[in-house]
Structure formats: C-alpha cells, structure tokens
Amino acid sequence: MQREFTKVAISQRKLGKCIYDEILDGDTILSNQGYVERKLHAILTDLVENASKRRMPQKQARVDRIRQPLRDLRAKLHLLMSDYNSNNYARFFSYLKQVCKLIDEMHTYGLDIDIDEELPTEASIGLERLREKYEESRKKYEQELSKIKDDDVEGRNRLFDRYRTQLLNDEEIVRVAFDLPAELEIWLREHV
C-alpha cells in the first residue's frame, strides 16, 4: 500500500499538485493534534464536524418518521402480552395480527430502513422475527385449511382454534413479544 501511495504521490507532484509525503491515519489526525501541523489539523477537524452536522438533520428526520409508529406498536404489544397473561388465545391472536399488520405497514411505507438504522439491532431483528413467525404460522394454517371441505364448519373452527392456540403457545413469539415493549420504551424515552 505504501508503494502504491508513493507512486501516486510522485505522479501528482509532477502534475504540480501539493501532496503529503506519507499516508495519513485519519483517526490519529483527529485524536492527536501533534500528528500533523496545527493548521492542517484545524482544517480537517472542521471538515469532519461540518460533515457530521449535516448528518444530524437526516438522523432527526428518521427518528421523527418512526417515533409514532413505534409508539403505536408498543401499545399493541402491551395489549398482546396482557392477553397472553390472561391466557385469552382469541384476543392474543387478534392483537398479534394487529401488531404484524403495523409492522407490515412500516415496511410498505419504507420505515423498515429507518428502523434498521435507528433501533438497537435486537429490537429491529425482534420486529422482523415476530412478523416472520406469524407469517409462517398463517401459511401453514392456510395449507391445512385448504384440505378441509368448505361445508365442514366444525372442522374449520377446530383448526382455527388450534391455530390461535399454537400462536399463544409459541415460545419464540412470546419471548420476542415480551422483550420488545421494554426495548421500544427505552428507545422512545431516549428520542422524545
């Protein structure tokens, strides 16, 4: 790498460009004022600070876009876990469906990119995993439902009840749904 840099430095000097004699370490320049001349250090520090200031509005815009949907999601997750604790599989299913619909809507509006960028990794992965588990279960239910005759109402109802009970008893769904509200609460408090 040093050899390539030397070649570039020589060719740039022949073109009349001013170039530093050695490869510069950006971290060392910013952290050690004596590494380069004081004036160069000040110029580079200003450039880095200006670039980071320009990124701040983008970050705030991302936070503003996802704050309310995450509040709504947190509220639904609290209701979901309340119904889990009361072992109410019908309402648990209803809230799980609503939670997954909110997550899908966030994807539809492109908020998943902002969420991946801003939320802690565990929370972002948890949201995606919750939705995936729900979708896997729903597809499995629909496959089994297609095998039952349309006029077999009792069979269809038994399958639907079994499907909702399986969701209530799915350990991964329950674990993620228990962990997410606390993670979202922390993030929302930090981004008021």
**What is d(CA 65, CA 67) in angstroms, rounded to the nearest whole number?**
6
Rounded to 5 degrees, what are φ and ψ at 85?
-65, -30
Q: Does residue 80 contact residue 178 with C-beta atoms inside 8 Å?
A: no
Residue 164: predicted pLDDT = 94
Residue 54 lies in a domain: no
In a domain, 56, yes or no: no
Q: Rounded distance, CA 185 to CA 126, Å?
A: 14
Any domain includes 185: yes
Q: Is residue 9 part of a domain?
A: no
Low-confidence ranges of the chain (pLDDT < 70): 1-3, 5, 9, 12, 16-26, 29, 35, 52-56
Identify whether 89 is part of a domain: yes
Give the whole-angstrom CA distance, residue 1 versus residue 186.
45
H/E segment holding residue 132: helix 121-146
In a domain, 45, yes or no: no
Angle between helices 89-108 and 38-85 (to 10 degrees): 150
CA dihedral 88, 90, 95, 101 (to 10 degrees): 160
What was the pLDDT predicted at 111? 92
Number of structural domains the chain divides into: 1
**Per-residue confidence (pLDDT) for residue 28, from 0 to 100:** 73
Range of the domain at 171: 62-190
Residue 43 confidence (pLDDT):
80
The pLDDT, as a whole number, for residue 56 is 66
- d(CA 103, CA 105) in angstroms, rounded, equals 5
Q: Tell me whether residue 70 is in a domain.
A: yes
Contact 130, 173 (CB under 8 A): yes
Sign of CA dihedral 87, 91, 95, 101: positive
For residues 96 and 81, what is the distance between their CA atoms, to the nearest angstrom? Answer: 9
